[in-house]
Amino acid sequence: MQSADLTLVIPAYNEESSLRQFLPELLAFCEQYGSQLVIVDDCSQDGTGAMLDQAAAEHSFLQVCHHKVNRGYGGALISGIQLSRTRFSVTLDADGQHRLEDVLKLLEKQQQTNADLVVGARSTDAGGGSGLYRALGKKVIRFVAGRLVDDLPISDLNSGMKLYDTELAKRYLRLCPDGMAFSEVLPLIFVQQKHLVTEAPIEVAPRRSGKSTINTMTALDTLLQIINIVMVFNPMRIFLPIGGVMILFGILWAIPFLLRGSGLSSVSMMAMTAGLLLIMMGLLAEQLAQIRKKDL
């Protein structure tokens, strides 16, 4: 595979200071390997947009997309991937944390495995002082996703560096959120749709400037989006355990009353009925999910 089959897609929001250092490296990389570059200015309030326009005027392989309103990390990546015209698209962050030589690692891994998605698995955390906190959040998200998705082959689900088969990614973009959860949701869709997903090790560096906006609310939103996408493709993974627990609770609650000869209590009947209704709703949702999968 030639490097010209690759587009680097980068979301940028108020990243003027970081891009002053990182953009020349990006331009040099693309010139060397014949790759395309798409940078999405997500309604930045600093000089990010002007800097990118100037660079685009001097380099034909750079395409800049400007959002009139801030759409978020995922919204910027959706716009960037939609503009990609190459076989593969690699997403990176604009803060300079990702090493461009690792892009070649992802390409090499794809060539070795013919994978549809290669995730850059970070061996170090670049969270600075919040490294432990973010590492814990990363493990929680990975644990929840692993319980909801069979045979999840990704250890670093929320890595910002990923190589996608562009055609497949475009097919699923309409299911992806505009927020930070994009990083987790699109790979989960690839897994749910039985595409080949693998990982390659990468290194990350501390941010060159600026401050990360990832916080506890970001993690909570990510968990909700993971549950939402599982509901779209495999709802019984949600409905069946909850319904089963409610039925079991109803049975256990009823046993003492039955042993005393008091009949079934109203609490146990309500719990078992609710559990059965949830399972029936899950079966209906599963039928809709099968139709949705065929549409995709």
List, as one string, the DSSP characters of 116-141.
SEEEEEESS---GGGHHHHHHHHHHH
Output DSSP code: residue 10: E
- Cβ atoms of residues 89 and 6 within 8 Å: yes
- Cβ atoms of residues 61 and 90 within 8 Å: no
What is the reported pLDDT for 127? Answer: 44
The DSSP element (H or E) to which 279 belongs, if any, is helix 266-295
* Rounded distance between C-alpha atoms, residue 228 and residue 174, angstroms: 14
SS (H, E, C) 175-213: HCCCCCCHHHHHHHHHHHCCCCEEEEEECECCCCCCCCC
pLDDT one digit per residue (tens) for the chain, 296 residues: 455 689 999 999 999 999 999 999 999 999 999 999 999 999 999 999 999 999 999 999 999 999 999 999 999 999 999 999 999 999 999 999 999 999 999 999 999 999 999 999 987 554 444 455 556 666 666 666 666 677 778 888 889 999 999 999 999 999 999 998 898 899 989 988 889 999 999 998 876 665 656 656 767 777 787 777 778 788 888 899 999 999 999 999 999 888 888 887 889 999 999 999 999 999 998 888 888 777 76
User: Residue 88's closest CA among 155, 169, 209, 143?
Assistant: 169
Helices (H), 205-265: 216-233, 236-259
* Rounded distance between C-alpha atoms, residue 151 and residue 191, angstroms: 9
Q: What is the mean pLDDT of the chain?
A: 87
* 161-194 tens-digit pLDDT: 999 999 999 999 999 999 988 988 999 899 888 8
Number of Cβ within a 10 Å radius of residue 13: 21
Query: Across the chain, how many H-helices and E-strands are there?
Result: 10, 7
What is the reported pLDDT for 132? Answer: 53
How is residue 231 written in tokens?
A: 């509901």
- Cβ atoms of residues 48 and 15 within 8 Å: yes
User: Residue 52's closest CA among 6, 14, 90?
Assistant: 14
* 220-234 tens-digit pLDDT: 777 787 777 778 788
Q: Residues 102, 108, 112, 115: what is their CA dihedral angle, to the nearest 10 degrees?
A: 60
- Cβ atoms of residues 102 and 121 within 8 Å: no
Q: Which long-range contacts (CB under 8 A, 24 or more apart) does 284-287 make?
A: 285/231, 285/235, 285/236, 285/239, 286/234, 286/235, 286/236
**What does residue 197 show for φ and ψ, rounded to 5 degrees?**
-120, 130
- Measured in whole angstroms, the distance separating CA 278 from the mean position of its chain's CA atoms is 28
